[in-house]
Amino acid sequence: MANEEKRFYGVQFHPEVTHTRQGMRMLERFVRDICQCEALWTPAKIIDDAVERIRQQVGDDKVILGLSGGVDSSVTAMLLHRAIGKNLTCVFVDNGLLRLNEAQQGDGDVRRPLWSEHCSR
């Protein structure tokens, strides 16, 4: 599917999934050959850019982050910590949906690098 005039392109399948043969190759060719994008993005560059944007937005302010122990809040916490260091306070919230002893383990994993406080319901 395409709208050449607006330069919109789409597919009606999932080239990114593992069972699509040559899916990643299709995406790579689309990005590099059709869109003519350079492969400047790396995981390290993405992290560095996110940290810099956080620094610009937060400045010298302090941030309190509710931390559930899930991937989203954990990644957010680590990015914030890299960007603003001790100006971040994480509050680990035990929502009652974690596995047995997961709150205690997660709290210890987070407390060491991020200086979190533990709150339970």
pLDDT at 112: 52
Closest CA to 73 of 65, 81, 83, 63: 65
The reply, when asked if residue 69 is annotated as ligand binding, is yes
The reply, when asked if residue 74 is annotated as ligand binding, is yes
For the ranges 31-40, 48-57, 92-101, which has the lowest average pLDDT?
A: 92-101
The reply, when asked if residue 120 is annotated as ligand binding, is no
In this prediction, residues 15-30 reach a mean pLDDT of 91
Domain ranges of the chain: 2-34, 43-120
Q: Count other C-beta atoms under 10 Å from residue 114's C-beta.
A: 20
Winning range, highest mean pLDDT, from 71-75, 77-81, 117-121: 77-81
Tell which wins on pLDDT, 99 or 14.
14
The reply, when asked if residue 72 is annotated as ligand binding, is yes
CA–CA dist 80, 19 (Å, integer): 36
Specify the CATH architecture of the domain 43-120.
3-Layer(aba) Sandwich (3.40)
The reply, when asked if residue 106 is annotated as ligand binding, is no
